[in-house]
Amino acid sequence: MSGNVELLSDTLAGARSENRAALIAYLPAGFPTVDVGIEAVKAAFEGGADVVEVGLPHSDPVLDGPVIQTADDIALRGGVKIADVMRTVREGHEATGKPVLVMTYWNPIDRYGIERFTAELAEAGGAGCILPDLPVEESGVWREHAEKHGLATVFVVAPSSQDARLAKITAAGSGFVYAASLMGVTGTRASVGVQAQDLVRRTRATTELPVCVGLGVSNAQQAAEVASFADGVIVGSAFVKRMLDAPGPAAGLEAVRELAADLAKGVRRGA
């Protein structure tokens, strides 16, 4: 089963060999329905995403803003289950042959069972997991099972992370490093770009892993800006907002495809 994490690594290396950042799209499973959510993953890939993160909807998504919280709420009210998340991963990956990760908070995995979750994710063709709230010190059992099943463990670093802490996190992670740079209240757009650039520089000093930035990027211009210094550009809320604003599912899928195409041009421009 080691092919899953290798596919992710090869995809990121492939983007680098083209002298560009990878485009990583985020979409929650079960939103607006399980079936449409699966089609949205395919649409993001069709538009030009290199990797897709499938969100496991959670009632208390501490790192997600109001747009993703709204989508999660719709998915949860629709009765989305972990089995639906696995199905979304499987069908998105099988339709495209491209890497699909799960982004989830720790509590649902803990309740579901680590061995069961990792085995099912690997069996579905998943490339790994992004775990924003799992402290690296408490990740040993998870990493043991993830490695056994050939899954990447992606940890999140932030501008507040000290250099020694960055080194500890990146040493434990695999696949890539998710560099989260806060938007809005942390300062103006220009200073946030500088902050993210500094975080990427400091993170790269500790690891050979690609460093991908989730930064509130919503258009090609911002994607190009982040692509000029990061290995990957992660876009979530902008995709979800397009679907929330669309008059219906077909229009939502077309909007996802169009945004992915726009952002894919952006990451190439930023090379």
Residue (of 95, 29, 100, 35) closest to 250 by Cα position = 35
pLDDT tens readout for residues 189-229: 455 577 889 999 999 999 999 999 997 788 999 999 999 99
What value does the mean pLDDT take over residues 116-121? Answer: 98
Among residues 39, 50, 64, 225, the one annotated as catalytic is 64
Domains of the chain: 4-270 (3.20.20.70)
DSSP 138: G
pLDDT tens readout for residues 85-97: 999 999 999 999 9
What angle in degrees, to the nearest 10, is found between the helix axes of 189-204 and 220-227? 30
pTM given for the model: 0.94
Look up tokens 């289950």; give the residue: 81
Residue (of 65, 8, 62, 4) closest to 218 by Cα position = 65
Q: Is the peptide bond before 57 cis (omega within 30 degrees of 0)?
A: no
- Whether the pLDDT of residue 6 is over 90: the answer is yes
pLDDT value for 188: 37
Among residues 39, 50, 53, 72, the one annotated as catalytic is 53
DSSP assignment of 146-190: HHHTT-EEE-EE-TT--HHHHHHHHHH--S-EEEE---GGG--HH
pLDDT value for 184: 39
Encoding tokens for residue 160?
Answer: 């507040």
- Whether residue 144 lies in the annotated active site: no
- Whether residue 53 lies in the annotated active site: yes
pLDDT value for 185: 34
